[in-house]
Structure 1
Amino acid sequence: MAGIPQWLYIQTGQDIVIEPYVGAGPFGDTYGPATVVRCIVDERRRLVRDATGDTVVSETTVYCPLTVAAPPGSRVTLPDGRVSVVLTSSRGDGGRLPVPSHLEVAVR
């Protein structure tokens, strides 16, 4: 499986912090351990469908390696310090095809 080339993450990527959503607990939402991930950040506003199927506005899209876990509801700290929530994430897995496999994460 060929992913986005590592040199592209190094040259144009930015570090973000992802805290994967684990579930709702008695004191609110719970998150997994924070992980710093090198991703490509696209600060372009667009409409996406969230986990419930509603159309919402995503302020930022992040392209990460497929090994990253970022289910809807996860907390993301962007390079500028903004803390946001994952609206939806989708795997772009090309398998054996020569296309860049990645995880596309739309955040609020």
Structure 2
Amino acid sequence: MTAIPDFMFRHVAVVEPLVGEGAYGPVYGPQVSEPCLADDKRQLVRDANGLEVVSDTTVYFKPGVVCPPGSRVTVNGRTSTAITSLVRDGGGLPTPDHVEVALK
């Protein structure tokens, strides 16, 4: 497995993974601090329902980080919601494997 080099992870994100819905709204798992690379760029992404949503930040994590859509992510002093979470795995090819999360 080839991953994004460690020196690229210049930021730290606090991830509260969405684990379900309760009587009072979303239920989140315990907070986890993860090294990441935060890229502030505005782009259109499709959410889990296929709707176009504007993402203001894309966060790149090391392989294995769990951050499902709907999770709360705090990076660079801003708390956002994960729109999409994509596992980028080259299946053994020499690609930079990582987890890519679009935030709104």
Structure 2 gaps of 5+ residues are none
CA deviation after TM superposition for structure 1 residue 28, in Å: 1.4
CA distance in 2, matches of 1:16, 1:8: 14
Query: How many residue pairs get matched?
Result: 104
Tell whether 2:14 aligns with 1:14.
no
CA distance in 2, matches of 1:57, 1:73: 15
TM-score computed with the length of structure 1 as normaliser:
0.92
3-state SS of the aligned residue for 2:13? strand
3-state SS of the aligned residue for 1:69? coil
CA distance in 2, matches of 1:99, 1:88: 21
Tell whether 2:102 aligns with 1:106.
yes
CA deviation after TM superposition for structure 1 residue 102, in Å: 0.5
TM-score computed with the length of structure 2 as normaliser:
0.96
Tell whether 2:5 aligns with 1:5.
yes
CA distance in 2, matches of 1:70, 1:105: 8
3-state SS of the aligned residue for 2:85? strand
**Aligned letter for 1:99?**
T
Identity %: 50
**Aligned letter for 2:95?**
V
CA offset digits 1:47-67 (Å, max 9, x no partner): 000111000100000010121
CA distance in 2, matches of 1:70, 1:51: 14
